[in-house]
Amino acid sequence: MSRIALVTGGSRGVGRAVAIRLAAEGTAVAVNYRRDEAAAGEVVSAIEAAGGKARAFRARVDDPDAAAGLVRQVRETLGPLDLIVSNAGTASRGTAIADTDDEEYLRLLTVHALGPLALIRAALPDLRAAGRADVIVMSSSIVDSTPRNGAPYTMAKAAMEAAARTLAYEEREHGVRVNIVAPGLVATDMGERLAAASGGATVAELDAGYPFGRVARPEDVAGVVAFLASAEADYLTGQRILVDGGGPDIPIVAPLSRG
Ligand SMILES: NC(=O)c1ccc[n+]([C@@H]2O[C@H](COP(=O)([O-])OP(=O)(O)OC[C@H]3O[C@@H](n4cnc5c(N)ncnc54)[C@H](OP(=O)(O)O)[C@@H]3O)[C@@H](O)[C@H]2O)c1
């Protein structure tokens, strides 16, 4: 039986690649977006042109009521969900903790954790009834590196990772798998902004210094999502897969010779 997936933030970047990849494997895809209707429409057209099935759905995941409403809309249009890729997200303003107010923490926590949890909660009856269902949460390797000026984003991603691991235990008895994908820098609009913010470079300028000679592409992340959603990953839950080419290469400092 073909699956029905909701990809939040499916109109651009990582979500776009995930939507196209899942559709290519026979999954009907709800492509969620916030405001770029043309971009979402382009993803739907690309999927349909390749023989797949997709519909675009406008909703803000940082509005928990709208996120729950999105699930209802998808159910009415495509049918009951058995795969959620919680991918939509935004970066924080890039200020130090000393200069960051509560509002910024709450903004990031809402888009990356509270909204997605409302969405997942609304979908759980469908997910539990599916026999095999998956929730895949897009996090970030930033949770491990905790760089300066990123606390609201890092904390929000860490909060969602904690919730995802908890959910994996709670929903295992209902057949729902919950896994986390944590990319490093990815060549997307957000990736370009992050590259510019951390030193004024473009992704193309950074490519040569990255593992395998390139910053990750959205398709690298989409491949891992497709694996987690496949029958091959039937016995995986509560896992976190880093898609960062092996992470930072910290040279081992040779012991100083004492002459
Ligand atoms: N790029 C990176 O380097 C990187 C690294 C690690 C993790 N990530 C994570 O990967 C995910 C995707 O990032 P990306 O680089 O693909 O970002 P992106 O290129 O900026 O695209 C963001 C997508 O999310 C949607 N979106 C943003 N806020 C939304 C909201 N409140 N409600 C619904 N949709 C919303 C956008 O829709 P509209 O176009 O309609 O606004 C767009 O489809 C995010 O969770 C991000 O934190 C990214």
Q: Is 150 in the pocket of ligand 1 (CB under 6 A)?
A: no
Taking only the tens place, the pLDDT of each residue in 179-208 is: 999 999 999 999 999 998 888 899 999 999
- What is the residue with the minimal CA distance to atom 23 of ligand 1? 9
Q: Closest ligand 1 atom to the C-alpha of 13?
A: 16
CA-CA distance, 169 to 182, in Å (whole number)?
Answer: 19
To test the ligand 1 pocket, which listed residue (6, 42, 70, 90) has its Cβ within 8 A of the most ligand atoms? 90
Task: Output the CA–CA distances (angstroms, integers) from residue 96 to 91, 103, 105, in the order listed.
Answer: 14, 14, 12
Catalytic residue among 33, 105, 153, 235: 153
Taking only the tens place, the pLDDT of each residue in 25-70 is: 999 999 999 999 999 999 999 999 999 999 999 999 999 999 999 9
40: amino acid identity, one letter: A
> CATH number for the 4-184+217-243 domain, one of 3.40.50.300, 3.40.50.720, 3.40.350.10, 1.10.3210.10?
3.40.50.720
Known catalytic membership, residue 153: yes
| CB-based contact 137:181 (threshold 8 Å) | yes
Q: Closest ligand 1 atom to the C-alpha of 91?
A: 47
Q: Hey, where are the domains in the chain?
A: 4-184+217-243
